[in-house]
């Protein structure tokens, strides 16, 4: 089948409106979120349901056309956009928007892969339940994309990554068959866990079309606090005290360096900063309670009191209203925006054993200073999950573009240190095309060969999202 016969068959299957091939109409599907790369494609295909996805994949197999699955296209590692060859199709799940079922007793929800994360949260809330996955792109990203990147976000400390929030999947295989594994079971030890293969596979093993997601009780109340401390080591002590006192009630623990807070003050001066400048590190804490706000506040104050008592914390403020709590979260959520407003920097989305984080920061920052004198570290992240955004900005007076030429050398310092501490070069965002070569450098040959064997077994023609991950 040549390309024009292929596109004709797609139009007959999906309808003319859902086979997009004009350059201008395709543009938003081909450009990555951060605007770093624009690929080319034969067409953008928009199936309406699982059967149409399966039939579309069969057409692609017959014509040997590579497929790039796409959800909300908010991915940060060039996984959801095609390469520059123009030979692939983008298969967008955006029309698959059905919340198929909410089972409040089983505490599960079955959704199409194209459901926007925020809509999934709302559908759970409408039944008095919580779907706890939450991230800044939640108004645009989809459940299929969240699963395919095993997204993290702000609730991981209490509820886990997307992998932990999924009980079952429906997948269209690279051959165009439908695997219906939409089981709402918390226990199912019947052989290899296919679900876990597809989660985090970034569209390289098949197309997720539906999922059974776990729901939780809605907390009755939550309280937020901001604490200041002298070092990352002190922040780790605070984390330990909070976990000892609050257990599973501790639902957020974010680290923000003084440099991050100053960036926010510089670019968003209207946001109140309730603690004095002059501390080295700040931690944002959130506690949730299934009883009452008074219960959460009492627990938080007792734990903070203990941390102050043992000198882990220099100062702290507890939000006394929902608005104040929002204000504290605003400080954390404006860090990515403030760093973007300040210019480009070299990003690292890393994870480490929580216990190694202070040593990692203390050891790696001097190495960066020695190699790139005056460089500025934008270090913040989900400390409770061992996940840091460890970004390196140019020295004052050095142009962004000039500094970006050092990207590889900066990556090497940071990623070598991550490897030395037993960490991961991608905590949340995945590998995509952006970190593929880094993955090859840091995974062992045994692990890479096992991954390649899985890919070859499931996708022998290599049509699923080629050039990504492996």
Beta strand ranges found along 32-131 (DSSP E): 43-45, 67-70, 89-92, 99-103, 108-112, 129-130
**Phi, psi dihedrals of residue 404, rounded to the nearest 5°:** -65, -20
| Nearest C-alpha neighbor of 119 from the set 103, 147, 142 | 142
Q: For ligand FAD, which stretch binds (CB under 6 A), given 20-28, 73-81, 224-232, 399-407?
A: 73-81
Half-sphere exposure of 185 (CA within 13 A, CB side): 9
Rounded to whole angstroms, the Cα distance separating 177 from 456 reads 17
Rounded to whole angstroms, the Cα distance separating 288 from 336 reads 25
Q: For ligand FAD, which stretch binds (CB under 6 A), given 203-211, 272-280, 306-314, 436-444?
A: 203-211
Rounded to whole angstroms, the Cα distance separating 255 from 226 reads 10
Q: For ligand FAD, which stretch binds (CB under 6 A), given 11-19, 21-29, 67-75, 234-242?
A: 67-75
Binding mask 232-271 for ligand FAD (x = CB under 6 A): ----------------------------------------
- When asked if residue 203 is in the footprint of ligand FAD (CB under 6 A), the reply is yes
89 - beta bridge partners? 43, 67
| Residue closer to ligand FAD (CB basis): 108 or 149 | 149
Please identify which residue in 50, 74, 224, 391 interacts with ligand FAD, judged by CB under 6 A.
74
| Residue closer to ligand FAD (CB basis): 76 or 250 | 76
Please identify which residue in 43, 465, 466, 470 interacts with ligand FAD, judged by CB under 6 A.
465
Please identify which residue in 41, 76, 392, 414 interacts with ligand FAD, judged by CB under 6 A.
76
Residues 86-145 binding ligand FAD (CB under 6 A) are 93, 113, 135-137, 141-142, 144-145
Rounded to whole angstroms, the Cα distance separating 244 from 299 reads 11
By Cβ distance, which residue is nearest to ligand FAD? 145
Rounded to whole angstroms, the Cα distance separating 434 from 451 reads 18
Residue pair 129/165 in contact (Cβ under 8 Å)? The answer is no
Spatial CB neighbours of 437, under 8 Å, sequence gap ≥ 6: none
| Nearest C-alpha neighbor of 162 from the set 145, 178, 182, 179 | 145
Binding mask 22-61 for ligand FAD (x = CB under 6 A): -----------x----------------------------
Rounded to whole angstroms, the Cα distance separating 332 from 268 reads 12
Spatial CB neighbours of 124, under 8 Å, sequence gap ≥ 6: 102, 109, 130, 131, 215
Binding-site size, ligand FAD (CB under 6 A): 36
- The separation between CA 270 and the C-alpha centre of its own chain, rounded to angstroms, equals 28
| Residue closer to ligand FAD (CB basis): 232 or 430 | 430
Please identify which residue in 39, 47, 66, 75 interacts with ligand FAD, judged by CB under 6 A.
75
Q: For ligand FAD, which stretch binds (CB under 6 A), given 6-14, 66-74, 356-364, 433-441?
A: 66-74
C-beta of 383: minimal distance to ligand FAD in Å? 14
C-beta of 134: minimal distance to ligand FAD in Å? 8
| Residue closer to ligand FAD (CB basis): 144 or 168 | 144
Binding mask 144-183 for ligand FAD (x = CB under 6 A): xxx-xx-xxx------------------------------
C-beta of 166: minimal distance to ligand FAD in Å? 12
Structure tokens belonging to residue 348: 């690292």
Q: For ligand FAD, which stretch binds (CB under 6 A), given 40-48, 64-72, 321-329, 401-409?
A: 64-72
Q: What is the DSSP string of 44-69?
A: EE--SSHHHHHHHHHHHHHHT--EEE
| Residue closer to ligand FAD (CB basis): 39 or 145 | 145
| Residue closer to ligand FAD (CB basis): 204 or 224 | 204
Rounded to whole angstroms, the Cα distance separating 302 from 298 reads 6
| Residue closer to ligand FAD (CB basis): 417 or 427 | 427
CA-to-CA dists, residue 248 to 130, 162, 286, 299, 305, angstroms: 15, 18, 11, 12, 19
Report the interface residues with ligand FAD, using CB under 6 A: 33, 68-76, 79-80, 93, 113, 135-137, 141-142, 144-146, 148-149, 151-153, 202-203, 207-208, 428-429, 432, 465, 468
């Amino acid at each position: 089948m040549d390309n024009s016969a292929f596109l004709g068959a797609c139009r007959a299957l999906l309808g003319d409106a859902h086979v997009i091939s004009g350059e201008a109409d395709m543009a938003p599907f081909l450009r990555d979120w951060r605007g770093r790369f624009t690929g080319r494609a034969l067409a953008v295909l928009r199936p309406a349901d699982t059967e149409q996805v399966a039939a579309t994949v069969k057409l692609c197999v017959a014509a040997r056309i590579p497929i790039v699955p796409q959800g909300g296209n908010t991915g940060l590692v060039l996984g959801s956009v095609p390469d520059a060859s123009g030979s692939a199709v983008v298969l967008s799940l955006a029309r698959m928007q059905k919340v198929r079922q909410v089972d409040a007793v089983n505490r599960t929800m079955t959704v199409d892969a194209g459901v926007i994360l925020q809509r999934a949260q709302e559908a759970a809330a409408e039944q008095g339940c919580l779907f706890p996955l939450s991230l800044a792109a939640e108004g645009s990203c989809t459940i299929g994309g969240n699963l395919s990147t095993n997204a993290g976000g702000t609730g991981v400390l209490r509820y886990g990554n997307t992998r932990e929030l999924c009980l079952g999947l429906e997948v269209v295989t690279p051959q165009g068959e439908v695997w219906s594994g939409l089981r709402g079971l918390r226990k199912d030890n019947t052989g290899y866990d296919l679900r876990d293969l597809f989660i985090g596979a970034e569209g390289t093993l098949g197309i997720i079309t539906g999922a059974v997601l776990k729901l939780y009780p809605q907390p009755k109340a939550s309280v937020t606090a901001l604490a200041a401390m002298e070092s990352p080591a002190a922040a780790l002590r605070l984390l330990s005290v909070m976990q000892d006192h609050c257990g599973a009630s501790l639902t957020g623990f974010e680290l923000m360096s003084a440099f991050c807070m100053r960036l926010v003050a510089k670019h968003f001066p209207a946001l109140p900063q309730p603690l004095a400048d002059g501390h080295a590190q700040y931690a944002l804490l959130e506690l949730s309670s299934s009883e009452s706000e008074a219960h959460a506040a009492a627990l938080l104050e007792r734990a903070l009191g203990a941390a102050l008592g043992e000198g882990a914390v220099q100062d702290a403020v507890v939000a006394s209203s929902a608005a104040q709590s929002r204000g504290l979260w605003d400080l954390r959520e404006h860090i990515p925006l403030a760093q973007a407003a300040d210019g480009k920097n070299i990003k690292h989305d890393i994870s480490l054993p929580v216990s190694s984080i202070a040593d990692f920061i203390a050891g790696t920052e001097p190495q960066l200073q020695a190699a790139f004198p005056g460089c500025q570290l934008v270090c913040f992240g989900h400390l409770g999950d061992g996940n840091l955004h460890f970004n390196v900005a140019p020295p004052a007076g050095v142009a962004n573009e000039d500094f970006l030429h050092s990207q590889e050398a900066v990556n090497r310092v940071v990623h070598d240190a991550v490897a030395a501490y037993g960490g991961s070069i991608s905590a949340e965002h995945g590998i995509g095309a952006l970190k593929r070569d880094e993955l090859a450098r840091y995974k062992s040959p045994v692990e890479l060969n096992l991954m390649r064997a899985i890919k070859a077994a499931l996708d022998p023609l290599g049509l699923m999202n080629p050039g990504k991950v492996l």
